[in-house]
Every structure is written in C-alpha cells, then in structure tokens.
Amino acid sequence: MIVFDHVSKVYPNGTVGLDDVCLRIDDGEFVAIIGRSGAGKSTLLRAVNRMHQITSGTLMVNGTDVTGLSGKRLRQFRRGIGMVFQSFNLVTRTSVIKNVLAACVPDMPFWRVLLGAFRKEDKIKALESLDKVGILDKAYMRADQLSGGQQQRVALARAIVIKPDVLLMDEPLSNLDAKLRLEMRQAIRKIQREVGITTVYVTHDQEEAMSISDTIAVMNAGKIQHIGTPRDIYQRPANTFVATFIGRTNILDARMEQGTLVFPTGERFTRDSWRTIPDGPVKVSVRPEEFVVHHADEKAGGLSAVLEDSVYLGLNTHYYLKLTGGASVELIQESAIDEKLEPGSAVTLTLKEEKINIFSEDGTKNYLRV
C-alpha cells in the first residue's frame, strides 16, 4: 500500500511540485495520475521510489517511511520497485533475454551478463517474465530487431522480473503510434491484473487513463483535484477544473432557486434532488451529450439557441450553437438518417437533468457529489 499523507515537495528554486497531496493506493490497485504538463505527475512518481526527497508530510510505501531511507536500505527499497519509462532504455545490440536478465542481477556488471555468467534460476525467471508479457518467442532476438510495441513489452518484462512490490510507469506509451498504444493499453492492464502488482501510471492521455485504471487521480498545480473511479470522475467531477479537463463540457452561469435552476434568459428546470442546493448563483456543467436538441417549433420550455455549425462524424454529429443569452455551446447527438438542421436554424435545448452537474459559483464544489 502507498500512502501520501499531506505530502508537499518544493524544489530548491522554490517551484512547488506537490502541494499537500493525500492519496492512498491499495495493494494490487492500478492508479492513473493524470494532468497537464507541469501538474506534478512525475514529481509524485519520483517521490514514491525516492528519486527525490519530499519537503513535508509522510510517504509510506508498503509500511516503510521512505523519507527516512538512506544508503543500503534505500538501495534495497529501490530494488523492490519496477519502473517503466517513455524511453525503453534497452541495450539494443543485445538479446532480449540478456536485457531482462540484467535486471535480475543488478549487482552484476553488464559484461558478465553478456558472457553468460548468470544463474539458471535467473534465466528461468527472465523467460517466465517474457512469457507473461507475450514475447517468449523473441527471447533470443536482438532488442533492436523488435517493433516499438515489442520493445515496450521487454521494458515491462524487465520491470516485473524482479517481482517488485510496486510498478511505476511514466508515460510508457508515448513513443508508440496510436494503434499500438491501444494494443499495449490492453496488454498492460491484463499483465497487471495477472501479476496483481500495485501500479502507479502517469499519463496526460485521459482516454488511456480511463481505459486502463481502477482509480484516477486528476492533478493540477501540484494538487490532487479529484480521486475516483473513471465513471465517478466523468459523471460527478469534484470541481469545474475536473469537469472541463476530463472529457468536454459546457460551463454555463445560472441561479438556484429552491431546487429550480434558472438560466439568465429565464428558462427554468426543476428536479427533486436539487432541493438541497443552496439558493444563489451557480455554475452548471452540461456535457455535449447531455443536451437534447429540438426544432424550435416542436418544443417550448427549453433554452433557445441558433445553430451556427455542425460536423457530421458518422455515428455522431457535433453541433455548435449560440444560446439566446450569448453563450456558445457544443452539443453531440447520434446522427439521424434525415438530418434537417441547417446553420441558422432556431432550436430549443433541453437537458438530461439527471446527468448535468451543478457547482458553486467559484467552481470549487460540486453540489451533486454525495
């Protein structure tokens, strides 16, 4: 288990890398850390294997307080942690199995590995590990003769061959093309489940994070903004930052009046579960698929808008509209066979009320999170 308890990291030049981070990662859990560049993702990862020291707070990894480690104990601790980076760091002119074997015998100079001075049981471990990642048949090929995806599998085999307590992955798929990334996502998830290893996975790709992890931690400016399941983060984001960062959304101004949401142009929407929301100004997040579009003459009582543009993408059509109040919104609907909406059409928008989110005016609190 990994526990960050009010952890902060300030770099010597004063830059805040982590700001009061609290995060608990259970044994066997797969957590994706997601955020823009500079959000603090790598700083968090590097704190776990003590590549740097945190400034304050406590960080426990499997019962060990990592801040207190030094010398031999620190080296031993690091050996219990598998790492996979964006660059595969393979010794390219050497066989795949020797690349993996070198990780089994970290104290042995690499030239001795090349000479074959390793134990039979280490060789068995290396072959087992290559089998787990699905490239046993490539064991005796030179690493540089493999494809990008296969090289990534070798990097993974090398990380898990030591049977680490924790696996840290920093943007491991960024160097692969789109198709391979999809394939490797599935492979990593499957291997992680089989091995049951606690995994922290840094990415800036939200779809990758959603598809691969049990839990996502969204970071911004050194702080964790939201920790939750992919579904929780998408459906009930903790604040407007998370709502706009994960997926797409429209943020609109409105007021709450005794369970009724009132838009500046006067349209009203009521729902029982909104009665607990305090009266006053709010921010409303409506994802593009949470609007329903109607021809203006078909439906009264929704938000009036004019269609500015639409893009047909096969399964869905994206609509860009301007509300009567002036706000621009984006909407996605499943494409209809007989599309009749033309730019300039007057339409009415209703809301999928159970799905939308209502935040405090400053965007920091989602009133619909229980």
Residues that bind ligand ADP (CB under 6 A): 11, 13, 15, 17, 35, 37-43
> Measured from the CB of residue 42, what is the shortest distance to ligand ADP in angstroms?
3
Give the separation between CA 268 and CA 136, rounded to whole angstroms: 63
Give the separation between CA 227 and CA 220, rounded to whole angstroms: 12
> Measured from the CB of residue 54, what is the shortest distance to ligand ADP in angstroms?
12
Query: In the complex with ligand ADP, which residue's Cβ is closer, 43 or 99?
Result: 43
> Measured from the CB of residue 57, what is the shortest distance to ligand ADP in angstroms?
16
> Measured from the CB of residue 17, what is the shortest distance to ligand ADP in angstroms?
4
Question: 337 CB contacts (<8 Å, ≥6 apart)?
Answer: none
> Measured from the CB of residue 167, what is the shortest distance to ligand ADP in angstroms?
18
Q: Which of 160, 226, 217, 227 is nearest to 193 (CA)?
A: 160
CA dihedral for 194, 200, 205, 210, sign (positive or negative): positive
Query: In the complex with ligand ADP, which residue's Cβ is closer, 100 or 202?
Result: 202
Query: In the complex with ligand ADP, which residue's Cβ is closer, 218 or 321?
Result: 218
Query: In the complex with ligand ADP, which residue's Cβ is closer, 42 or 244?
Result: 42
Give the separation between CA 340 and CA 87, rounded to whole angstroms: 50
Query: In the complex with ligand ADP, which residue's Cβ is closer, 36 or 193?
Result: 36
Query: In the complex with ligand ADP, which residue's Cβ is closer, 53 or 364?
Result: 53
> Measured from the CB of residue 46, what is the shortest distance to ligand ADP in angstroms?
8
CA distance readout (Å), 129 to 104, 146, 192, 292, 298: 11, 17, 12, 51, 62
Query: In the complex with ligand ADP, which residue's Cβ is closer, 38 or 149?
Result: 38
Helix axes 148-160, 96-104, angle to 10 degrees: 20
Query: In the complex with ligand ADP, which residue's Cβ is closer, 35 or 164?
Result: 35
> Measured from the CB of residue 362, what is the shortest distance to ligand ADP in angstroms?
24
> Measured from the CB of residue 25, what is the shortest distance to ligand ADP in angstroms?
17
